[in-house]
Amino acid sequence: MTAEARPRLVILISGRGSNMLAFIDVCRSGELNAEIALVLSNNPDAAGLALAAEAGIETAAVNHRDYHSREAFDAALTQRVQAAEPDLVILAGFMRILTPVFISPFAGRLLNIHPSLLPKYPGLHTHQRALDAGDTEAGATVHFVTPELDGGPPILQVRVPIEPGDDADTLAARVIRQEHWIYPEAARWFIEGRVKLTQAGAELDGQILDQSGQVLAPR
């Protein structure tokens, strides 16, 4: 990344891409000094592709159904993403389990956001699982992506109180509002060189973060 060129982001989506829209907003406003070089989906009918195109962003689809294995799909995905020359790759509701075929070429510059307080509740149905467990808080975690599902080192986390009468939908609605600012914040830290992936974990300002990452208060 040079001083003359804005860092290039590639964003991967599977649906509408609400976190993608948050990135479009902060890049457009200048809050995040980056440009979105490409929005790509494994679903050619993803609503987010049309929304990105309306914003003047290049879009593409690599349909996972066209490939006989995860590895074959990931190889095609890697080729298309590399062509966009990204400085940072953002998974924003990308509903595919990625293999090392994709993860390895982008190691250390591949981020995901997960709707739980990792390491709690990797995988799906995170809000219902938090409710079923009687937790008092839920939240979201931005983390580096590694081959372990939702197991990469956390960068930052926001915690949201679970309120009386919450169900999975009301809790999810409050959590996703927080996702929309912490995800671009983590990207900003990366772009500014403040955060990086090391063998010991995620490092922020020269300090290794613990298993929750940097914890931020909800906005």
Strand partners, 183: none
Three-state secondary structure call for residue 36? strand
Class of domain 111-140+147-219: alpha beta
Q: Where are the domains of the chain?
A: 1-106, 111-140+147-219
pTM: 0.96
Distance CA 178, CA 22 (A): 11
For 1-106, CATH gives: 3.40.50.170
Name the catalytic one among 64, 68, 114, 143: 114
Name the pLDDT band for 186 (thresholds 50, 70, 90).
very high
Sign of CA dihedral 179, 123, 191, 210: positive
**97 token code pair:** 């389990």
Judged on CB neighbours under 10 Å (0-12, 13-18, 19+), 145 is: buried
Q: Are 200 and 208 in contact (CB under 8 A)?
A: yes
Parallel, antiparallel, or unpaired for β 137-144 and 110-114?
A: antiparallel
Give residue 5's pLDDT band: very low, low, confident or very high (50, 70, 90).
Answer: confident
pLDDT digits (tens, 9 = 90+) for 30-65: 999 999 999 999 999 999 999 999 999 999 999 999
Instruction: Examine domains 1-106 and 111-140+147-219 and report if their fold is the same.
Output: yes
pLDDT at residue 2 tops 60: no
What does the pLDDT look like over 80-114, one tens digit per residue? Answer: 999 999 999 999 999 999 999 999 999 999 999 99
Q: What Å distances lie between residue 82 and 15, 155, 163, CA to CA?
A: 22, 24, 43
Contact 87, 11 (CB under 8 A): no
User: Is 64 a catalytic site residue?
Assistant: no
151, pLDDT greater than 50: yes
